[in-house]
Every structure is written in C-alpha cells, then in structure tokens.
C-alpha cells in the first residue's frame, strides 16, 4: 500500500512538472507612468481617407435613379467633398433650363409692360397740356389719363 502511494505521488509530481513547463506563456505588458504635461499633438477625424465598414457599406442617395457616374471603386481613398456618384438627371436639368428661360421671358415682359405704362403716362401729360389749350376734348384727355392709370397698375 505504501508503494502505491509513493507511485501516485511521483506520477502526480511528474504530471504537475509537465503541465508547468507546457503551460501558455503570459502576455507581456509594458507599463508607462502617467504624468501631467502639455499636449504636444492631437488626433482628429477629418472624415477623409478610406472607408472600411465592419459589415457592409452602401452608397445610398436620398432619391433613387440610374447612376450616370460612379467616381470610386471598392478600396479607393476618398477626400472631403469628393463626388462619389451622380444620378442621371438630364430631364431635371432640361426642366431647370426651361424654368430659367421662362423667368427671363417674364422679366422682359414686365419691362415691356412698364415701358408701355411710362409711354402712356407721358401721353396723358401731353393730352393734359393740349386740353389746357383747348386743342382736344375733355373726353380725349380722360381717355389718355385712364389708359395711363390702367397701364401703370399692370406694371405694379
């Protein structure tokens, strides 16, 4: 019986020694003491550089449509303000040009109406001078004055 206990103790000692020498090495840690001091440099995120998502990244514009231009490929570096993609919008550009043309036409029409109103005002003043000399009737003067008033209302 004594022999079995000695053999078990030797076996346990050899097992412990085997485990001790084959255990995983601990991770080495370097330590630095913290001190109060001046900030020499700062790091900030400027949102420029390459994008690497943990799962998946999609370019998703607010409105849908056909892509006319794709300015980046997977793995490309991007910069702030860089155009990543453009949607086909020729129809909207044409509508914008048409609207601008209509604005210009309306502005010219307003200028024309105001020029006609100025001319009618001068005509009314001329008719008033002619009426003062009794060269025209009172109805002719009133007609010119009403014409000038209505033309000026259209200009305003």
Query: Using 50, 70 and 90 to split pLDDT, how confident is the model at 51?
Result: low
Query: Using 50, 70 and 90 to split pLDDT, how confident is the model at 70?
Result: confident
Compute how many other C-beta atoms are within 10 angstroms of the C-beta atom of residue 121.
18
pLDDT at 38: 79
Query: Using 50, 70 and 90 to split pLDDT, how confident is the model at 118?
Result: very high
Instruction: Give the phi and the psi of residue 67 in degrees, each rounded to 5.
Output: -80, 125
Question: Is the predicted pLDDT of residue 119 greater than 70, yes or no?
Answer: yes
pLDDT at 128: 92
Query: Using 50, 70 and 90 to split pLDDT, how confident is the model at 54?
Result: low
Question: For 62-66, 69-73, 77-81, which range has the lowest pLDDT when averaged over its residues?
Answer: 62-66
Query: Using 50, 70 and 90 to split pLDDT, how confident is the model at 155?
Result: confident
Q: Domain residues of the chain, as ranges?
A: 67-155
Strand partners, 49: 78
Give the total residue count for the chain.
156
């Amino acid at each position: 019986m004594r022999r079995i206990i000695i053999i078990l103790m030797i076996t346990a000692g050899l097992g412990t020694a085997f485990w001790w020498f084959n255990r995983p090495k601990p991770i080495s840690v370097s330590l630095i003491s913290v001190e109060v001091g001046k900030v020499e440099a700062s790091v900030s995120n400027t949102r420029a550089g390459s994008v690497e998502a943990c799962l998946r990244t999609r370019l998703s514009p607010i409105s849908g449509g056909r892509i006319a231009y794709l300015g980046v490929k997977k793995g490309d570096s991007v910069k702030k303000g860089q155009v990543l993609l453009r949607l086909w919008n020729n129809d909207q550009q044409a509508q914008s040009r048409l609207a601008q043309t209509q604005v210009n036409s309306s502005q010219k029409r307003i200028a024309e109406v105001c020029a006609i109103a100025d001319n009618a005002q001068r005509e009314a003043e001329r008719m008033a001078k002619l009426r003062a000399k009794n060269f025209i009737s009172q109805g002719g003067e009133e007609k010119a004055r009403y014409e000038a008033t209505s033309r000026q209302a259209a200009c305003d």
